[in-house]
Structure 1
Amino acid sequence: MQQFLLFLMAVVAGAMLAVQAGLNSGIGKAVKSPVYGALISFVTGGIALLVYCLVTRVPLGNLRRAFELPWYYWMGGVLGGFYVFAIIVLAPRLGVALTIGLTVAGQMVFSLVIDHYGMMGIPQQSINWLRVAGITLIIGGVVMLRTN
Structure 2
Amino acid sequence: MNPTTFYASIMLAAGIGIPVLAALNARLGQHLGSPAAAGFILFIVALTSTACVMMLTSGPSVLKLAPTAPKHLFMAGFLVTFYLLSITWIAPKFGVGNAVFFVLLGQMISAAAIDHWGLFGAQTSPLTFTRALGVGTMALGVWITQLGR
List aligned pairs for 1:75-90, cutoff 5 A.
75-90=75-90
Tell me how far apart the structure 1 counterparts of residues 135 and 42 of structure 2 sit (CA, whole Å): 30
How many residue pairs get matched?
147
Partner of 2:99: 99
Contact map agreement 1:115 1:126 (CA 8 A) in 2: yes
Q: Which amino acid aligns with 1:50?
A: A
Distance 1:66 1:34, change over 3 A: same
Partner of 2:71: 71
List aligned pairs for 1:16-31, cutoff 5 A.
16-31=17-32
What is the CA RMSD across the aligned residues, in angstroms?
1.6
Contact map agreement 1:98 1:142 (CA 8 A) in 2: no
> C-alpha displacement at 1:57, in angstroms?
5.6
Partner of 1:6: 7
- Encode CA deviations 1:68-127: one digit per residue, 9 max, x unaligned: 122211111111010011111222122222221110110110111111111111121111
Q: Which amino acid aligns with 1:106?
A: G
- Encode CA deviations 1:17-75: one digit per residue, 9 max, x unaligned: 11111111011111212222211111111011223334x26333543222112221111
Partner of 2:145: 145
Tell me how far apart the structure 2 counterparts of residues 130 and 57 of structure 1 sit (CA, whole Å): 39
Task: Report the secondary structure of 1:127's partner residue.
Answer: coil
Contact map agreement 2:54 2:60 (CA 8 A) in 1: no
> C-alpha displacement at 1:138, in angstroms?
1.6
Q: Normalised by the size of structure 2, how large is the TM-score?
A: 0.89
Identity over the aligned pairs, expressed in percent?
24
> C-alpha displacement at 1:4, in angstroms?
0.4
Contact map agreement 1:98 1:145 (CA 8 A) in 2: no
Which segments of structure 1 move beyond 4 Å, counting only runs of 4 or more?
none
Task: Report the secondary structure of 2:139's partner residue.
Answer: helix
Distance 1:100 1:2, change over 3 A: same
Contact map agreement 1:105 1:139 (CA 8 A) in 2: yes
Partner of 1:111: 111
Distance 1:127 1:41, change over 3 A: same
Contact map agreement 1:25 1:87 (CA 8 A) in 2: yes
* 5+ long unaligned stretches in structure 2: none
Tell me if 1:122 matches 2:122.
yes
